[in-house]
Amino acid sequence: MSQNTHPDFFDRLQSLTEAWLTRRNRIRRIKKEKQRAKNPVLDWIEAFLWAAGMVLLINQYLVQAYQIPSGSMINTLEIGDHIFVNKIVYGPELLPGLGKLPSPFKPGRNDIIIFENPSYISRGPAFDIAQRIIYMLTLSLVDIDRDESGDPKPHFLIKRAVGMAGDRFIMEKGEMKLRFAGEDRWIDERDYNKGRNWNHHISRIIRPEEYAPLEAAGQAAAWSDLGLQIPERLRSTAAGIRDIRFPDYLAHEKARLETLRGAAPQDKRYAMLLARHRLGWYVNEGRVLPLGDNRDNSRDGRYFGPVKVSKVLGKGSLIYWPMLPKWRAGLIR
């Protein structure tokens, strides 16, 4: 009985295998025939859309290419550097400009972060999405969001995370001092960085002697605000500000407010505005203070304040271009 059943089993198995192979070959032949019959233009469009979709997915959720438009991060990042930004580390956006996926990681002190410019004026969500899609598809080579002069608008900024929640910071002639949460003393930023072996270079353009005309210009502005004739000593000293390419607005404003406060001590407005310059700025919970490494040529948190962590889109990770004429490819630190 078993001897008769054994051959029947293998016969049926062979028949099933032949049927499956025949069906698979028929499906393959049909696919090949459809492929040959397909319009070459449609075939090219399908391949392009597939590649574009992959680029968008990678740029949106994993790694995105950016080009550095300004000198605010010199010497860490130079104008024209092409970099990759890690989008997944802090939680990528669900869609460009809409929501974020959760992440256990938050921006840390000294990280190079990219974030939405708080001063940016949007042209509408449809334009923003189109701009970011085109920017991603072209690997940062094409940016349709430009100003009247044809220069790219600063929709996104890339800076170094210097202050964390609970910190206070104060500026004295362009140099920053920090006071950390729970401490009662100020520490120079450069000394703190040196103690942590952070070797990035904080660039300065303004020379110490140039603060005299800056402060004189601020005092002269206060005299003008009060409707008084500006003394000649202030006028002549302030004339030197014309030679300063990147004036320190905060030093100018502090000198102006101190003069106004001295002239009108009863006006609480001046006391409130001056308090920040004397007591320092505070970084609230859920925010981070971003500053450029090139301090005298950087529009950053000193002007628009700490930014929300939810607005931080990624972490600068790698310079991938240029390689010539000067080798700059490498990790961003």
**pLDDT of amino acid 77:** 94
Does this model's pTM top 0.75? My answer is yes
Q: What is the pLDDT of residue 2?
A: 46
Q: How many CB atoms lie within 10 A of CB 59?
A: 24
- Residue 70: how many CB atoms within 10 A of its CB? 18
User: pLDDT value at position 36?
Assistant: 63
Q: Is 88 exposed, middle or buried (0-12, 13-18, 19+ CB in 10 A)?
A: middle
- CA distances 231 to 146, 176, 178, 237, 263, Å, are 43, 31, 36, 10, 15
Residue type, 331: L
Longest CA–CA span in the chain (Å) reads 124
pLDDT by residue, tens only, the chain of 333 residues? 444 555 676 677 677 777 787 887 778 777 776 666 666 777 788 777 787 778 778 878 899 888 898 899 998 999 989 999 999 999 988 877 777 888 999 999 999 999 988 888 878 778 887 887 888 778 777 888 888 787 878 888 999 999 999 999 999 999 999 999 889 899 999 999 999 999 899 999 999 999 999 999 999 999 999 999 999 999 999 988 877 778 898 999 999 999 999 999 999 999 999 998 988 899 999 999 999 999 999 999 998 999 999 999 999 999 988 866 677 788 898
Q: What is the pLDDT of residue 216?
A: 95
For residue 322, say if its preceding peptide bond is cis, omega within 30 degrees of 0. Answer: yes
Q: Rounded to whole angstroms, how far apart are CA atoms 103 and 312?
A: 12
What are 244-303's pLDDT values in tens digits? 778 898 999 999 999 999 999 999 999 999 998 988 899 999 999 999 999 999 999 998
Our CA angle for 331, 55, 121, nearest 5°, is: 80
Measure Cα distances from 39 to 28, 32, 51 in Å. Answer: 19, 13, 19
The residues, ordered by sequence, that sit 6+ positions from 255 with a Cβ below 8 Å of its Cβ are 214, 215, 216, 217, 218, 219, 222
Strand partners, 80: none
pLDDT of residue 111: 96
Residues 6+ apart with CB under 8 A from 284: 165, 306
